[in-house]
Chain A
Amino acid sequence: MFVTDIRKEFYDVVANQRVALLVSSDIDALCACKILQALFHCDQIQYTLVPVTGWQDLGTAFLEHKEQFRFFVLINCGANVDLLETLLPDEDSIFFICDTHRPVDVVNVYNDNQIKLLIKQDDDLGVPSYDDIFRDEDEEGDDSGHESDESTEPSGKRRRFEDGAVERRIERQRAKREWEARRREILFDYEQYEYHGTSAAMVIFELAWVLTKDTKDMLWWAIIGLADQWVHDKITNMKYVTDIATLQRHVSRHNHRNEDEENSLSIDCMRISFEYDLRLTLYQHWSLYESIYNSSYTSCNFKLWSLTGQKKLQEFLADMGLPLKQVRQKFNSMDMSIKENLRDVIEESSNKFGMKDIRIQTFGVHFGFKNRFLASDVVHAATALLENTEKDEGAGDNFIKALDCLSRSNLERLHLGINMAKKKLMAIQQTLASCICTNLIVSQGPFLYCYLMEGTPDVKLFSKPMALTLLSKYLLTAFVRSTRNKRCRLLPLIMAAPLDVEKGTVIILGIPPESETSDKKNFFGRAFEKAAESTSSRTLHDHFDTSVIELKMEDRTKFLDALITLLS
């Protein structure tokens, strides 16, 4: 059931209890977890934090902890599947689910005892009404009971009654069949497309605000959660702008407290500001040239994998009057005269070159003399740390490191993350260039398909779902710009990359087609399930995002064929 008063029904309930926090591995969940941890520390609520990467992990974690804990808080996992059936908990376990995955499973919505959803109901959910899906089975019993009573009557009357009874029974069965068919249809429509709702970090920040315990740190984490949804393309532009406006109100409320007295705050205090900043990834921590080269927006618009594209980039820089020497050095060391009007200058020139949206609404933070970060910078750094493939550490260690880099006191870790993110972006750019130039993307009919061979440089980076998602989105945008085939521009993309060479598995991911007004709804979850069933391929649907699966390499071809037949 949906929780209406998050303070009374969630926070006050767990106030004196021990809680198990099961947190999924994405940045939005990390931010929500940080805010919740800060709240728990204030009120000295004991909790255990368990990072989970998929359904199997969730099941194991639940089994380990179900003896000791009664209350479980699930962040960014668990809403889109019948949780009670998956986990089979005891009667007194209570689950609080704060998840962005939609659609929410109907059993989770209509269970009143054990499942409490910390999700805002005005989130455009479209849950089917109770009567359409659930129905009491008592009417069957009435029917047969009625008939057995009739059997004691004399035969003449009985036959008349029986005829009536039989007709009624046939009527009822027909109605039941119709109802069931309609139910199947409603459920199919409801569960067909997968999409994302309001950021979990924002929901938990609202809880902190209601408790009036919100601080600037928590607000910053909520901003990072929202930026994560935008960077990994999980929400529509409309929703992003609306959520930015909500957060902007909180930001001005906090800033108003600063400017209240004529005495200004210490420079070490955190200042969050609304920025209408450039869409160049990490440009303040890199050189301007590198940033333009490796950001998807500019790279796809200029087509930087081709020679003509690179010439265009040179023209662009010349048009703005920026000398190459300045542009190639670290941003912090650029001339002040150039940095002052940089955003306006770039916006003007990019309009001339056909890039109308080079600026995007976002927030930046500023504390101490040296430290300025944009929300998207932190998202990239944390993702790089979370999906670190360099050393063979467990997923739990990476989770803790990424969680640490979000605090203000761990700046070296954040800078480390930024460096790793730079390497990741350069790898993505190079892979993209080679894929487009060697025409690795083929149209299979109802969708486009691309497979990264094992020997590709940095292919280990792409065995992780978020890095692979970024690559696929950039690839699809680039492909749409570079292909001449009009029909191919409207197709979705399926991306495959080797996951584990020893076990012979590949990771497969599907993303919806690229369009201006895309509603980011992804139907590949159901499609993958059906295709796997029909070909009995050995797949593992372990990720919380149903559009990401693992597959055995040998089953790849028959799986794809099944998909093609299914979707055409």
Chain B
Amino acid sequence: MDPSEVEFLAEKEMVKIIPNFSLDKIYLIGGDLGPFNPGLSVGVPLWLALNLKQRQKCRIVPPEWMDVEKLEEIRELERREDTFTPVPSPYYMELTKLLLNHASDNIPKADEIRTLVKDIWDTRIAKLRLSADSFINQQEAHAKLDNLTLMEINTTRTFLLDSLNCMYKLRSNLMPGASKGKSSMDF
């Protein structure tokens, strides 16, 4: 998948906004939204929130996990554990990027949040690399990783699958005719 496709999927996440206009309930294919009343918060998908923000029709409320202390805790936890810890949201990276690019004036301490989320991301990607490395070295047939988000998987997917394919071809050519255990790739 393309990273932009993953971002597109992330835009379906709900965020809270405070509109400055009023509109009755709207009925969209994906669900009902509204009604919108000025000053009252309402939950909308991220794509609509960003569009309204750019047209200066609303104020975006940052999600609860987008807070300096909470993110610091998550970062510490991530650094301590060897496996992946639960993430605040399955699309935390995309949400951070989109909200900080378009609505950074509604998010307090935006710079620190950006640094903290980047730290969490770096730690998790490092763990992913280590785990892929050990998987290949020990020529295991099966691996199970919890709590990975789609964006993280997407960074290694093409490379890992292609390289495993190549290694399989090389190994099977070493022993012509003998089928030496199929390495199944279950993630």
Contacts and interface: CB of A to CB of B under 8 A. Distances in A.
Given A265-B105, A266-B105, A213 B111 contact: no
B108 A213 contact: no
A42 B110 CA distance: 25
A369 to B, nearest CB: 11
A126 to B, nearest CB: 38
Interface in A47-98: none
Contact of B108 (A43, A44, A261): A261
A520 to B, nearest CB: 37
Contacts, number: 27
A269 interface: yes
A215 interface: yes
A251 to B, nearest CB: 16
A263 interface: yes
A266 B55 contact: no
Interface in A257-291: 261, 263-269
A215 B105 CA distance: 11
Interface residues on B, range: 10 to 19
A261 to B, nearest CB: 6
Nearest to A262: B108
A41 interface: yes
A267 B114 CA distance: 12
Given A265-B105, A269-B104, A41 B55 contact: yes
A43 B55 contact: yes
B56 A42 contact: yes
Nearest to A208: B56
B104 A42 contact: no
A491 B55 CA distance: 52
A267 B111 contact: yes
Interface string A2-45: 00000000000000000000000000000000000000011110
A265 B110 contact: yes
A266 B103 CA distance: 10
Nearest to A39: B56
B109 interface: yes
A41 B20 CA distance: 17
B104 A268 contact: yes
A269 B105 contact: yes
Nearest to B104: A266
Given A263-B109, A266-B111, A267-B111, A213 B56 contact: yes
The prevalent SS among residues of B at the interface is: loop
A44 to B, nearest CB: 8
Contacts of B110: 265-266, 268
Contacts of B108: 261, 263
Contacts of B105: 265-266, 269
Contacts of B104: 265-266, 268-269
B100 interface: yes
A261 B107 CA distance: 11
B104 to A, nearest CB: 4
A41 B55 CA distance: 7
Nearest to A216: B105
A215 B56 CA distance: 9
Contacts of A265: 104-105, 110
A42 B55 contact: yes
A269 B110 CA distance: 10
Interface in A488-502: none
B61 to A, nearest CB: 14
A120 to B, nearest CB: 25
Contacts of A43: 55
Interface in A195-218: 212-213, 215
Interface in B88-146: 100, 104-105, 107-111
A264 B108 CA distance: 7
Contacts of A41: 55
B69 to A, nearest CB: 12
A256 to B, nearest CB: 14
Nearest to A266: B110
Nearest to A38: B56
A32 to B, nearest CB: 19
Nearest to B105: A269
Pick the most buried of A41, A265, A266: most chain B CB atoms within 10 A of its CB: A266
B115 to A, nearest CB: 11
Nearest to A213: B56
Nearest to A270: B105
B100 A266 contact: yes
B51 to A, nearest CB: 11
A212 B20 CA distance: 10
A264 B112 CA distance: 11
A42 B55 CA distance: 4
Interface string A180-203: 000000000000000000000000
B125 to A, nearest CB: 24
B63 to A, nearest CB: 16
Nearest to B107: A266
Interface of A: 41-44, 212-213, 215, 261, 263-269
21 contacts: A41-B55, A42-B55, A42-B56, A42-B57, A43-B55, A44-B55, A212-B20, A215-B56, A261-B108, A263-B108, A265-B104, A265-B110, A266-B100, A266-B104, A266-B105, A266-B107, A266-B110, A266-B111, A267-B111, A268-B104, A268-B110
User: Nearest 4 A-B pairs (CB), nearest first?
Assistant: A263-B108, A266-B110, A266-B104, A42-B55
Given A215-B56, A263-B108, 8 more contacts: A42-B55, A42-B57, A44-B55, A263-B109, A265-B104, A265-B105, A268-B110, A269-B105
